[in-house]
Amino acid sequence: MLKYRSAWLTGGWLLVSLIVYLSLMPHPPEPMSFPNADKLEHGVAYASLSLWFCQIYLSFRQRVVVMVALIAMGVVIEFLQGWSGYRFFEYADMLANGTGVVLGYLLARTALGRVFVLIEKVGL
Read off the pLDDT of residues 24-37 as tens digits, 9 standing for 90 and up. Answer: 999 888 888 888 88
Q: Supply the pLDDT for residue 124.
A: 63
Can you give the residue range of the structural domain that contains 86? 5-25+38-122
Number of domains in the chain: 1
Q: What is the pLDDT of residue 24?
A: 96
Residues of the chain where predicted confidence (pLDDT) is lower than 50: none
In a domain, 57, yes or no: yes
CA-wise closest residue to 98 among 75, 116, 114: 75
- The reported pLDDT for the residue numbered 29 is 86
Would residue 30 count as lying in a domain?
Answer: no
Least Cα distance to 101 among 36, 42, 60, 37 occurs for 42
Instruction: Look at the pTM and tell me if it is higher than 0.85.
Output: yes
What is the structure's pLDDT at 53? 98
Is 100 contained in some domain? Answer: yes
